[in-house]
Amino acid sequence: MKIEILGSGCPKCKELEKRVKETVAKEGLKAEVTHVYDIEKIIEYGVISTPALVVDGKVVLSGQLPSTSEISKILKGA
């Protein structure tokens, strides 16, 4: 699984990255987690508001900071 956090590096974006990494570790998921800061790439995904969460190339969340339990549900459904 490839997980990308899209965002400029604002506090919410950094918190989403932290929560995603915690969830991946807690659930024992095999995933590569990266943070995309490049505005051009973020726009290519069609994301208008960050932070955004992309799983395997698909935007699954945008403009929100979900709880770790919500992240877990999203990742298990991916």
Which pLDDT does position 77 carry in this prediction? 84
Which pLDDT does position 61 carry in this prediction? 95
Fold of 2-77: Glutaredoxin (3.40.30)
Residue 32 has pLDDT above 70, yes or no: yes
Per-residue pLDDT, averaged over 18-35, amounts to: 96
Tell me the CA distances in angstroms from 70 to 16, 37, 44, 64, 77, one per residue in order.
11, 23, 25, 11, 11
Return the closest-CA partner of residue 17 out of 51, 43, 58, 49.
51
Domain ranges of the chain: 2-77
Give the model's confidence band at 78: pLDDT under 50 very low, under 70 low, under 90 confident, else very high: low
Q: Which residues of 18-45 are buried (b: 16+ CB within 10 A; e: fewer)?
A: ebbbebbeeeebebebebbeeeeebeeb
Residue 53 has pLDDT above 80, yes or no: yes
Output the CA angle 39-14-63, nearest 5 degrees: 60
